[in-house]
A and B are shown apart, each in its own frame.
Chain A
Amino acid sequence: MARLFERLFGRSNPETKSGKLAKDRLQMVLVQDRIDMSSDKMKMMQEEIIEVMSKYVTVDMDNVDFALRNRERDGLFVAEIPFHPPADETKDSDNTGVTNENESAVKISVEEPQTDTEGTPQPTSDSDTDSKAPQAEPRAKNDQPTIETEPDTSTEEPSDADDDD
C-alpha cells in the first residue's frame, strides 16, 4: 500500500518542511477516519476485487498495490493490478502485458543482420532462420537491426536484438 501511496502523494525526505508533513499525515489519517470500514473488511474488499479480475485475466499477485485517498469529502480507492491476458504465449510476466501485446501485434518483415555484433556468425534466434524472415543482406556494424518478427525472442535474448555496439 505504501508504494502506490508514495507515488500518488510524493515521498517525504529529510528536508520536507513540517507544514507539508502535517498535510500529508492528515490526508492519510483522514482517509481512515472517514472510511468507517474495518481493516478486515477493507482486506476482504480488495481480495474480492482481485477474484473478479482473475476471472478474466491472470493477475500478477506479487505486484498488486492499493491506495486510498480523499477527493473533496469523498474517498477514492486506487488500485494497481498488473496482469497478463489469459493463455498468453509469453513466458515471463512483465508488468502490464502491454509490451508483449505490442510485440505480438507487430508482424513485419525485416532485414536481419546475418552476424551479430562481434561479427561472428552465431546461431541466434529462430527468426534468423525462420522461413518467414527474408534472407537479409549483411549489414554494416552501425546499422540498427529493426523489429523481430517473432515476439518471444526479442525479450528473451536481448543481446541479439538491439545492441549494435
Chain B
Amino acid sequence: MAATVITITSGKGGVGKTTTTANVGVALARIGKRVVVIDADIGLRNLDVVMGLENRIVYDLVDVIEGRCKLRQAMIKHKQFPNLFLIPAAQTRDKNAVSPEDMVRVCNELRPNSDYIIIDSPAGIERGYRNAVAPANEILIVTNPEVSAVRDADRIIGLLEAEGKPAGRLIINRIRSDMVRKGEMLSPTDITDILAIKIIGIVPEDQYVVTASNSGIPVTLNENSRAGVAFRNIARRLNGEDVPFMNIDEPGGFFRRLSRLFGG
C-alpha cells in the first residue's frame, strides 16, 4: 500500500495540532502501521516534547535538508513502538531554512517504507504552513469550538481550495459537552454548518491531555482518557473504518445526528 502523507494544520495557534499529530501517530502505530511524524514548526519545535523524545535528538529536519546527515539518522524511534519514528524540527533556525520542494523530497524518500507520514504544521498561513501542506495527500484541519479558531480555520479552508489542495477534513478539539448542552459553546453542528467541510474527529476537553504532555506519554495510551478514545477513533477513520462519533449532546439535551460524518 502506498504511503499517505497527512498534514495537520489549523491557522490558529494552540488549538491542538501537535497533540493531534503525536496522538494520531501513536494510535496508528498501535494498530501496526509504519508511521513517521515530522515536526515542521522550524524554530519552535514541540512534537519532540509532547512525545517524550526530547532527549533523543541528534539530527533534525534541517540537517537532513542541508545534507549534514542521512534521513535515517534524523529519525528517532519511539520507545514503545518500533514502527513509529519522529523527525524533529530544528530549534535554532526558522521556516526559511526549508522550502516546499524540500518537504516533498523528504516525504518521497520516506514513502517506500511507510504507511503514514504525518506532518505537524506550524500555525499561520505563511512559509511554514506552505512547507507543511506541500507534500500532503490528505489534510486535517484542527479547530476549537471558539470564534477565533473557527474563523482562522475558515481562512485555511479557503486557501487550500484556492491552491487546489486536497479537501481538508475537520477535527474539533476541546469540546465541552456540558457547555454545548447549555448552549454556551459552539456545537459540532454549528461549526460544520459554518465551515461546510467533513468532520473526521471530535475530541473532548480532557485533563488527561495536560498530564500526558507533562509526562511525555501521549494520551492515546491512557485507557481512561476520553480524548484518547477520540484520537484512536480518528486513526481508525483515517484507516477507512466507519466509527460513529461519541455522543456529544447538542443544545436542548438530545443527540442530533451530525450532518457531515466521515464519509470514507
**Which A residues fall within an 8 A CB radius of B?**
17-20, 22-23, 25-27, 29-30, 33-34, 70, 72-73
Q: Given contacts A18-B184, A19-B183, A19-B187, are A33 and B251 in contact (CB under 8 A)? A: no
Q: Which size bracket describes the interface of B in this complex? A: 20 to 34
Residues of B within 8 A of A20 (CB): 183
Q: Could you tell me if B151 and A33 are in contact, using CB atoms closer than 8 angstroms?
A: yes
Once the chains are docked, how many angstroms separate the CA of A162 from the CA of B197?
Answer: 55
B125 → A minimal CB distance (Å): 13
A and B contact pairs by CB, cutoff 8 A, 28 listed: A17-B183, A17-B184, A17-B251, A18-B183, A18-B184, A19-B180, A19-B185, A19-B187, A19-B190, A19-B251, A20-B183, A22-B147, A22-B186, A22-B190, A23-B186, A23-B190, A23-B194, A25-B147, A26-B151, A26-B194, A27-B194, A29-B147, A33-B151, A33-B154, A34-B154, A34-B158, A73-B157, A73-B197
Q: Are B183 and A72 in contact (CB under 8 A)?
A: no
Note all chain A residues with C-beta closer than 8 A to B151.
26, 29-30, 33
Complex Cα gap A153–B180 (Å): 57
B180 (CB) vs chain A CBs: closest residue:
A19
Q: How far is the CB of B193 from chain A (nearest CB, A)?
A: 8
Interface presence of B109 (CB below 8 A)? no
Roughly how many angstroms separate A17 CA and B181 CA in the complex, as a whole number? 11
Interface residues of B in 178-209 (CB under 8 A from A): 179-180, 182-187, 190, 193-194, 196-197
- Report the separation of the CA atoms of residues A70 and B3 in the bound assembly, to the nearest whole angstrom: 36
In the complex, given contacts A17-B184, A73-B197, what are 20 additional A-B residue pairs having Cβ atoms less than 8 angstroms apart?
A: A17-B182, A17-B183, A19-B184, A19-B190, A20-B183, A22-B146, A22-B190, A23-B186, A23-B194, A26-B186, A26-B194, A29-B147, A30-B151, A30-B154, A30-B194, A33-B154, A33-B158, A34-B154, A70-B194, A72-B196
Most B Cβ at <10 Å: residue of A19, A33, A73:
A19
Min CB distance B49 to A, Å, is: 32
